[in-house]
Amino acid sequence: MDPNQTPQTQPLATPSFSQPPTQPDQTWNTVHLINRSFSRVFSRLIPLILLNIIGLILGVILFIANVFIGQSLTPNNVATMEPTAVILFILLGLVSLASFIALATWLGLAYVRILTSQVKMGPIHALKSTLPLIASYFLTTVQVSLFTIGLAPAFGINFVWGVWNSFTLFAFLEQGAKGLNALWISKEMVSQKFWGILWRTSVVCVAPIFILIFLDSILSDNFLKILMRVGILFVFMIVIPFTISFNYEMYRLIGVPQQIVKPKDWILASKIGWIIGGILIVVILTLIVSGIFLGLGLYNRMDTYRPY
């Protein structure tokens, strides 16, 4: 060959779509997803158990603290409390409820962080990393709940949004999406494999629970029922982290949307649903109050004409 001659470039071979690939992609193979999910759970089982123990201890301490503060600031006879004391008592109740919600949110975030971390993470590290996220995730949960409640008048729509909501927590933790943006990202991702995610989750995660509940309902022997319920308890201890891991394995296989698309029609439908729901609540309460007053009026009228 002449050294000054430019070598000819060989054209790329056109792939034949009629031939199957030599190494088929098995990432969406359900058996592989199950195996990876179980592997994820069992490789992190000790940190999860330790986190549950820490959560139990924190819950007991928080309960004792709330009881102690409540008893020390509340008089023995609640009926004789002054108005200011009543307000203080209500505020203490709200603070107590908020503290338990914050603890449950914190433990839940740490639980998922342990399961979804790329490297194995201890419970203390998981708790430290999720502590700043408690308030923002609680507000995200509230916003998502309010949005889906607004769609309640449209029967069946909440089920679809329940599927679209599958990756909201992962979008919050891994992409930093807050509020309804986490839900919009989850919807865009799930929509790419909606039916595949739906049937896999239904068959792999939900069906075994219903089977166990059905078996428990048809057992007549009390001893067998006790054994079955103990078994269900242990199954739930594995089913919960397995379900999270299974959803996360599917989440990892789907591309993250580059832009957040707000479903304006669904937002409008949710607002309309809240208006309809508010009107229905007012109407129902009005009918109930009217019925009570009508009943009292009839009772008083009958009492007036009652012979003595």
Q: Mind listing the pLDDT tens digit for each residue in 231-247? A: 777 777 888 899 999 99
Q: Same domain for 95 and 146?
A: yes
Q: Same domain for 149 and 236?
A: yes
Question: Is 13 part of any domain?
Answer: no
Q: Same domain for 175 and 105?
A: yes
Question: Is 197 part of any domain?
Answer: yes
Question: Is 106 part of any domain?
Answer: yes
96 burial (CB, 10 Å; 0-12 / 13-18 / 19+) is: middle
Q: Same domain for 158 and 276?
A: no
Whole-number pLDDT of residue 217? 73
The sign of the CA dihedral 4, 5, 6, 9 is negative
Whole-number pLDDT of residue 15? 34
Q: Same domain for 165 and 281?
A: no
Question: Is 93 part of any domain?
Answer: yes
Whole-number pLDDT of residue 119? 86
Q: Same domain for 127 and 70?
A: yes
Whole-number pLDDT of residue 269? 86
Q: Same domain for 74 and 48?
A: yes
Whole-number pLDDT of residue 186? 94
Q: Same domain for 181 and 210?
A: yes
Do 157 and 132 meet the contact criterion of CB atoms below 8 Å apart? no
Q: Which domain holds residue 139?
A: 30-262
Question: Is 56 part of any domain?
Answer: yes
Which residues in the chain show pLDDT less than 70? Answer: 1-26, 73-83, 85, 154-155, 216, 219-221, 223-225, 293-308
Q: Same domain for 285 and 251?
A: no
Using CA atoms, how far apart are residues 148 and 160, in angstroms rounded to an integer? 10
Question: Is 196 part of any domain?
Answer: yes
Whole-number pLDDT of residue 281? 84
The total number of structural domains that make up the chain: 2
Question: Is 279 part of any domain?
Answer: yes
Q: Same domain for 36 and 51?
A: yes
Whole-number pLDDT of residue 190? 94
Whole-number pLDDT of residue 17? 31
**Phi and psi torsions of 176, nearest 5°:** 70, 20
Whole-number pLDDT of residue 129? 94
Distances (CA, A) of 104 to 32, 58, 81, 109, 238: 32, 10, 32, 9, 19
Q: Same domain for 170 and 280?
A: no
Question: Is 16 part of any domain?
Answer: no
Q: Same domain for 274 and 234?
A: no
